[in-house]
Homo-oligomer: A and B are copies of this chain.
Amino acid sequence: MDCYLGIDLGGTNLKAGLFDSRLRLLAQKSLPIGKAIPPEEICRRIAALAENLLQAAGIRRGQVAWLGAAIPGTVDAAAGLAVRSANLGFDRFPIGPCLEEKTGLAVHLANDADAAAWGEYWPVRQHCRSLLMVTLGTGIGSGLVMDGRLFAGAFGGGLEAGHMIVQKEGRLCTCGQRGCWEAYASATGLICSVNEAISAHPASGLAALAAAAGQVDGKTAFDACRQGDPTARQVVEDYLDWLAAGLIGLINLLEPEEVVLSGGIAREGEWFLEEVRRRVLPRLYHPAARHRTLLRGSVWECGPGLAGAALLGFGMGEGEDRLS
C-alpha cells in the first residue's frame, strides 16, 4: 500500500498530513513557522515532522510514494525552487533538493493555490475536466485545472484572480492598484468593510460585537448578521455582491465545470454557498453555464491545500492507476 505525504506551508503555520492510497487521512500534525526561521531549518523541521507522522501512523518510510509540498509564493517546480514568498524567507531556495536530502523521499512542489485546485480536482477527475479554485483568505488565492492540467501561466505565477479589477478607481489594494477583487472579496477586504461600517455606525450591533471581542476578523460581520444587526447585514450583502462580481467575470472568462470556494469565509457553510450561487449562477453569460456550473465548498475537511500537496505526485495524467 502506497502512502502520500503532504506539507502545506502557510505564512505562520505548517501542516503535514499522511494519506493512504484511498486518500484517507491517516495522521496530521502542525508546527508554527515564520519568516524568522531560515529555509534550511524549515526543511529540517519538516523532515522531523514527517518522521513523527510516520511513527504515529505506523507506516514505514518505504511505503511512502512521495512528499508533496504546497508553498505560499512563486515556485519553479521543475527546478525544485521556492522562487519567492512574501511570508517566508524564500529567495530562489532549492527546497525540493533540500527536502529530498533530509527525508529520503521524492519531492513534488506547487504554489499553494495550485495545490489546492489539484486537491479538489483529483477526487472528481472521472467526471470533471476543469475546475476553478478560489480561496478567500488574507488575500484571494486561485488555481485552475483545465483539461486535466494545472494552469501555470508564462511566469510560473499560475492563475492570479485577486488582482482582476472589479471597480476602476475603487479601493486601494496592497499591490498598489485600485479596485482589485482582493481588496473587496478577501477576508482582509471584508474586515476593511466592517471597520468602515463601524466608523459610520458606532451604535450598531456590529460595533458592539467588535468592541466586546476586542478585534474584527473574517467572522465578525457574519456573527453580528446572525444576531440580527442591520448594519452587519448590509456589510454581508455588499460582501456577497463583490464576491459575486468577481466570480461572474471569472466563470464567464474561464468556463470551468466546477468552482470551489475555500478559506475561512467559505467555512460559513452551505447557506453562504447558496447565497453565492443565487447571486452568480443566473447572471452567467453562457446559458449552459447557468445550469451546469457546480459551485461548491471543499471536499477536504483537512483543507484542500494539504490534500492537494499530498496528491501532487499524480501530475499531468501520470500515476492514475496507482489509486486503488
Binding site for B on A (CB under 8 A): 129-130, 146-147, 149, 151-155, 157-161, 163-168, 175-177, 179, 241-242, 245-246, 248-250, 252-257, 283, 285-286, 288-289, 292
A309 to B142, CA, bound (A): 33
A156 to B242, CA, bound (A): 27
What are 5 A-B contacts defined by CB distance under 8 Å? A159-B254, A164-B249, A164-B250, A168-B242, A177-B285
The listed residue (B160, B241, B242) touching A255 by CB distance below 8 A is B160
* A216 vs chain B, min Cβ distance (A): 23
* A292 vs chain B, min Cβ distance (A): 7
The listed residue (B147, B168, B255, B256) touching A166 by CB distance below 8 A is B168
Contacts A242-B168, A246-B165, A289-B155 given; indicate if A177 touches B253 (C-beta within 8 A). no
* A192 vs chain B, min Cβ distance (A): 16
* A182 vs chain B, min Cβ distance (A): 10
Find the B residue at minimum CB distance from A256. Answer: B154
* A113 vs chain B, min Cβ distance (A): 12
Asked whether, in the complex, the Cβ of A283 is within 8 Å of the Cβ of B177, the reply is yes
* A66 vs chain B, min Cβ distance (A): 24
* A73 vs chain B, min Cβ distance (A): 12
Asked whether, in the complex, the Cβ of A157 is within 8 Å of the Cβ of B286, the reply is yes
* A22 vs chain B, min Cβ distance (A): 28
Find the B residue at minimum CB distance from A258. Answer: B154
Asked whether, in the complex, the Cβ of B256 is within 8 Å of the Cβ of A253, the reply is no
The listed residue (B159, B168, B176, B288) touching A241 by CB distance below 8 A is B168
CB neighbours of A158 from chain B (8 A): 255
Asked whether, in the complex, the Cβ of B157 is within 8 Å of the Cβ of A245, the reply is no
A245 to B165, CA, bound (A): 6
A249 to B177, CA, bound (A): 11
- Given contacts A154-B256, A155-B255, A157-B289, list 18 more A-B pairs with CB under 8 A: A147-B149, A153-B255, A153-B256, A154-B257, A154-B289, A157-B285, A157-B286, A159-B253, A159-B254, A160-B286, A161-B253, A164-B249, A164-B252, A164-B253, A165-B246, A167-B168, A177-B283, A253-B253
